[in-house]
A and B are shown apart, each in its own frame.
Chain A
């Protein structure tokens, strides 16, 4: 029976040392959401680089790895350096890199300002909307729409969706997209909705019994919702039902295998280019680009050793050639 007690006391010591520390600090520990209070005077460049990546379903991930010329890693974790952390969403990415002074990751440009992270220049170009539009900043992805091809039995819906597409091209629609962090250029010569609404007689009718189903990418959801909420009032108060489940469903539920199923939608969105020559052979004229979104490489707020990164270097970080910050700086 002695053994039993010895083992027990062993557990106890283990438990005490580990849990004791936990509990004494638990009440005083600062939450990691706040910026680290212990500002490191000298950033320790001998520390290893901790890489963070989104999971393989993410459109941001695709845009990032394609942008840094590392297409192998889009769908494949085995090309990444060991010890990476895979996070579930832009939000987890922000909180993870915020909690790790030696971390590096990538987020959508629209969330950079609020994130508390440092966004790096890419190939010497600052990640700004202007640089995305003048095509100097390379890490970007298109937001696309795709509508149904077969409208049999949904004539009113078709008219409304056509009007909606036209609205996205007007100055009214573009301003809304821009207000919701979509990147596009607005010309003063763009038409306004007031100029063209006479071409869409369906909008002067009462459409309050018509439901338009929106779906596809979750990244485009914010823009799509803002547009539909605003446009509904301008087009007979149709009901906008949003069910965003991922870029892949944008094609699948308008023209693909679920186009006539229970999950069918009238208009879908994709936060990446459509795979026109492989799995998403959309019919010409049924799809198009709404705006751009930029991806920014981010490091923790205390990381003051780097402000710019090249394609080559970022790839070497993610494939494991560089393991410490000093490797990168050398």
Chain B
């Protein structure tokens, strides 16, 4: 009887533990599910390759006065799209990826004067209004000026098109809000950070494992100090960036304030412990026979280290690189301090711009928060980070076999 009881209790414990251990899995699925549900419809080639700031087209029209109702609306327009019979243009209200309203050009008749308007700024150039553009302000000119304010919506805009015959000024823009700049910044940061951190990290690992005496107290202290870096939270690294690297970079280049260089330096310190420990772990797995064999053949210790040992340590270094890339892509708090939060399209390494993770931060604390764009960028970050980690895991498995 008692024995039976014991086994029942055992079973209960077992079930409990199994249930609890499902929590990790459920969270992972929930995180993925959430960002995919909210963000996947935004993910597109345009988002990835588009500029954040839109390109401006500035035009006017003073040709033959547009009269009458000549144009016929195409049959495939939905009932939220408005059509001007006088100008042959169809417009509708839309939301951009950040959730702002704007007027979208849906259709322009090929015979419409809008299909080819003289450029306001450069004589001889022409601007064509095409579908997909965003409509900015229009200043119509009749007896006086009539201003179309895009915040009043598409219906109002069409009404004004129908009432006016000359355009003093029309502004059109490409849709913008793309994340190409932040994507490129992230790549820049990865490359620059690795260029800075890899040599320092690998050489440090080699010194600690191959050259330093195991009993030397000073070496012990150095080792402890490097280990302490792993416990430092990323926001403190951000303070380091703001207090040391930003002034340092400003003094040696024409950067003013945060820059990609100061960001990369900060990230380099963050990933340094990862590179050192990962490299050292591989160095440990290299059998001593290799070293002895090389030394016995008359090679110096330096030659042995750099020609034999380093070569065998490459897999470990590669996995350190992959893990570092994951860390760099996901880092936010440190970069908010060490670079800043300004989103840019043209990436210059002595100036500010945001990585993808900080782009999310900017989007969430900007004028209107946008979970969808944040989720879309999160998908990119998650996929890259998880791919890096899975690759490392698989590679390590294969090597250890």
Contacts and interface: CB of A to CB of B under 8 A. Distances in A.
Q: Do chains A and B touch in the complex (CB under 8 A)?
A: yes
A195 to B, nearest CB: 11
Nearest to A113: B101
A192 B352 contact: no
Interface of A is mostly: helix
Contacts of B364: 91-92
Contacts of B79: none
B359 to A, nearest CB: 14
B71 interface: no
Contact of B368 (A90, A176, A188, A190): A90
Contacts of A91: 363-370
A84 B99 CA distance: 27
A234 interface: yes
A236 to B, nearest CB: 10
Interface stretch (B23-31, B219-227, B316-324): B23-31
A243 B342 CA distance: 8
Given A229-B56, A233-B121, A234-B58, A263 B257 contact: yes
Kindly state the interface size class of chain A when it binds its partner.
35 or more
Interface stretch (B143-151, B271-279, B280-288): B143-151
A77 to B, nearest CB: 19
A315 B23 CA distance: 46
A171 B256 contact: no
Given A31-B38, A94-B368, A179 B16 contact: no
B171 interface: yes
B365 A89 contact: yes
A269 to B, nearest CB: 15
Contacts of B370: 91
A2 B100 CA distance: 60
B120 A90 contact: no
B50 interface: no
Given A23-B30, A91-B364, A12 B369 contact: no
Contacts of A186: 145, 147
A108 B368 CA distance: 10
Contacts of A92: 364-365, 369
A31 B169 CA distance: 42
Interface string A84-117: 0000111110110000000000001011011100
A172 B139 contact: yes
Given A186-B147, A190-B145, 5 more contacts: A27-B26, A89-B365, A94-B369, A181-B151, A233-B58
Interface of B: 16, 19-20, 22-23, 26-27, 29-30, 33-34, 37-38, 53, 56, 58, 95, 99-101, 120-122, 136-137, 139, 144-145, 147, 149-151, 168-169, 171, 250, 256-257, 342, 352, 363-372
